[in-house]
Amino acid sequence: MTAPPLFSSELQVINAGVAEFAEALRQQSVPVVDLAWQPPAQGDSTLVEVLKHIYGSRELVEWIEAANQETFRRILDSNPQVIDVAPAAEAMGLSRTILHAGPPISWERMCGPQKRAVLGAIRFEGWAGHDQAAEVLVKNGEVTLSPNHRYGAVGTMTGIISPSMPVLVVRNETFGNDSYATFNEGRGNTLWFGVADEGTLTRLRWLRDEVGPAMKAAIKQHGPLNIFDIVAQGLQMGDECHARSAACTALLVKKLMPSMLEAGVAGQTVADIIRFMDQNNHFFLSFTIAAVKATMDAAHGAPYSTVVTAMSRNGVDFMIRVGGLGQRWLVGPVSAMDEAVYYTGYTVADAAGDIGDSAIIETCGLGGMAIAGAPTIAPFVGGSLADEVAAVRRLETITLGTHDKFRLPPMDSATTPLGLDLRRIVETRLVPFITTGVLHETSSSAGQIGTGVARAPIQIFNQALVALAHQWGLPVNAAVPDESIVDLEPVTKTA
């Protein structure tokens, strides 16, 4: 009897599943190709059941797809422009309140750098003469602490905004909504890095008294400044617009300085501002996050949408917003900063947790989504441009499409991944990463101690999907803990 061809021919095996099967064949000199496969949601029975109910309902899938396409359309149609610069008290109706990055948090749970920044802002406002007195005001409730997102604002790192700080007023011209962000303070001893010495306060006063009025005059002279036009150019020049904004900052100087001079701003003031921006490659970052905030707020809220429209963290907690959940945000512990490149003498043991509102940038096709546009930060994801390209390609598997305005020259001008889909994140276990800095937890003077990437915690996305399933009336055996949901209804501006 002749043996079947299968047993007489050379074996060529594709292995899907248990790795030991492939290894046993390799030990017998049989070539094996491993198929990159894993069960949906890593086999978590609750999440698999939710995904089955979602994909098993043709009507529900159609509703989700329609909502996601509407969300996607709003992002692409948004046109955020700087229309003014004004004190936060005037622009946002802010009174005896200090705003901070990330979810709501009690003073007792707040991380070290954010606490130091809050106390510095209180001293800057003149409400207290020293940190001890400032802390008493907070503990007695005489100064209110609130997340930036509640006021339509965003802030980098500690994210502090106080009433007399000048803020960019950014209007989404397509949809009519506004957002706000302070000017970036630059390097060294700054509130955004959690340092609040006399040098910090002197710089804040200069930003308030000189930069704010000069920028206001320049915008009035120039007219509305289109932020995404500059972002699109910056991506062509080596920025990814989160960890690196050097090109965008240089383009801003070209755009606004002639208008500033034409508006009658003193030559020495203009020179000081240009010098400051030259030494502060992150100056444009505030423009980017405010533009993204205005964009994603306009895109948010389509019923049944599974698109992530914001991510934010405060060094202790991480929160996400999903289009179909309204103003209910999901909150959980932040990731440790264990993928950062640390400055000499510092390690992850010195670091505060992941921090800043700027993670919203990654929801709009920038930052980590555009990392291949910035070869200089390749060490964040492995060290080479090929590693950056691979990282972007992986992110394409959890997004709905790409942003037609944002192109990456190193990838043959491919457009950046856009529209983080909660379903795909939960199913694949691939989470977005954020290009960011690292702050010292306990030192009052160290400030930034590293830079790199942070991963969004997968458990928050899991809980968000379960929350949506409950909202849609799907039979789900799991519950979302009350402490994992935060209601962030926007504060109505008062005169």
**DSSP letters along 156-222, please?**
STT--B-TTSEEEEEEETTT--EEEEEPP--SSS-GGGT--SHHHHHHHHHIIIIIHHHHHHHHHHH
Would you say residue 413 lies in a domain?
Answer: yes
Q: What CATH code is carried by the domain that includes residue 195?
A: 3.90.1710.10
- Give the domain range for residue 23: 11-42
Q: Does a structural domain hold residue 141? A: yes
Please name the residues in contact with 244: beta carbons below 8 A apart, sequence gap of 6 or more. Answer: 238, 281, 374, 376, 377, 435
Report how far residue 402's alpha carbon sits from residue 404's, in angstroms, rounded to the nearest whole number. 6
Confidence at residue 85, expressed as pLDDT on a 0 to 100 scale:
98
Contact 85, 167 (CB under 8 A): yes
Examine the domain organization and report whether 409 and 272 are in the same domain.
no
Residue 139 lies in a domain: yes
- Vertex 178 angle, CA 175 and 179, to 5°: 130
Domain boundary (230, 260, 289) is at 289
pTM of the shown model: 0.93
CA–CA distance, 322 with 328 (Å, rounded to integer): 8
> Does residue 54 share a domain with residue 193?
no
Question: Is residue 327 a contact partner of residue 489, using CB atoms and an 8 Å limit?
Answer: yes
Residue 28, judged by CB atoms within 10 A of its CB (0-12, 13-18, 19+), counts as exposed
The pLDDT assigned to 19 comes to 66
Please say whether the beta carbons of 245 and 358 come within 8 A: no
In a domain, 263, yes or no: yes
Task: Output the DSSP codes for 182-195.
Answer: EPP--SSS-GGGT-
Residues 244 and 340 placed together within one structural domain of the fold: no
Q: What is the pLDDT of residue 373?
A: 97
Indicate if 347 and 454 belong to the same structural domain.
Answer: yes
Instruction: Identify the CATH number of the domain in which residue 478 sits.
Output: 3.90.1700.10
**Domain-located, residue 1:** no
Q: Are residues 310 and 381 in the same domain?
A: yes
Same structural domain, 269 and 374:
no
Same domain, yes or no: 89 and 67: no
Q: Which residues of 392-425 are buried (b: 16+ CB within 10 A; e: fewer)?
A: beebeebbbbbbebbbbebbeebbbbbbbbbbbb
pLDDT one digit per residue (tens) for the chain, 495 residues = 565 665 566 777 777 666 676 777 777 777 877 666 677 888 888 999 999 999 999 999 999 999 999 999 999 999 999 999 999 999 999 999 999 999 999 999 999 999 999 999 999 999 999 999 999 999 999 999 999 999 999 999 999 999 999 999 999 999 999 999 999 999 999 999 999 999 999 999 999 999 999 999 999 999 999 999 999 999 999 999 999 999 999 999 999 999 999 999 999 999 999 999 999 999 999 999 999 999 999 999 999 999 999 999 999 999 999 999 999 999 999 989 999 999 999 999 999 999 999 999 999 999 999 999 999 999 999 999 999 999 999 999 999 999 999 999 999 999 999 999 999 999 999 999 999 999 999 999 999 999 999 999 999 999 999 999 999 999 988 889 999 999 998 887 654
The rounded distance, in Å, linking the Cα atoms of 84 and 93 is 15
- Asked which of 289, 314, 343 is the last residue of a domain, the reply is 289
> In this structure, is residue 494 part of a structural domain?
no
Q: Are residues 270 and 324 in the same domain?
A: no
Q: Which two tokens stand for residue 87?
A: 């004190």
- CA of 178: how far to CAs of 79, 277, 316, 404, 447, in Å? 11, 25, 28, 23, 31
For the stretch 19-29, pLDDT in tens is 676 777 777 77
Angle, in degrees to the nearest 10, between helices 212-222 and 246-262: 80
Secondary structure of 318-364 as H, E, C letters: EEEEEHHHCCEEEEEECCCCCCEEECCCCCHHHECCCEEHHHHHHHH
Q: Count of domains in the chain?
A: 3
Domain co-membership, 458 together with 379: yes
Q: Is residue 338 part of a domain?
A: yes
On whether both 421 and 469 belong to a single domain, the answer is yes
Over residues 303-312, the pLDDT tens digits come to 999 999 999 9
Q: Which residues, other chains included, contact 422 with Cβ-Cβ below 8 Å and sequence gap of 6+?
A: 306, 307, 308, 322, 461, 464, 465, 468
What would the two tokens of residue 482 be? 């009350």
Q: Give the model's pLDDT for residue 3.
A: 58
For residue 452, which of 320, 314, 351 has the smallest C-alpha distance?
351
As a whole number of Å, the end-to-end CA separation of the chain is: 95
Q: In the listed set 237, 261, 289, which residue is the last one of a domain according to the structure?
A: 289
Query: Phi and psi dihedrals of 452, rounded to 5?
Result: 165, -140
Structure-token pair, residue 182: 């302070």
pLDDT recorded at residue 106: 97
| Domain presence at residue 2 | no
Q: Are residues 333 and 352 in the same domain?
A: yes
Cα 124 to Cα 37: distance, rounded to the nearest angstrom = 55
pLDDT at 54: 94
pLDDT at 493: 67
285 and 349 housed in the same domain:
no
Q: What is the pLDDT of residue 494?
A: 55
Question: pLDDT value at position 33?
Answer: 75
Nearest to 239 by CA among 377, 359, 121, 119: 377
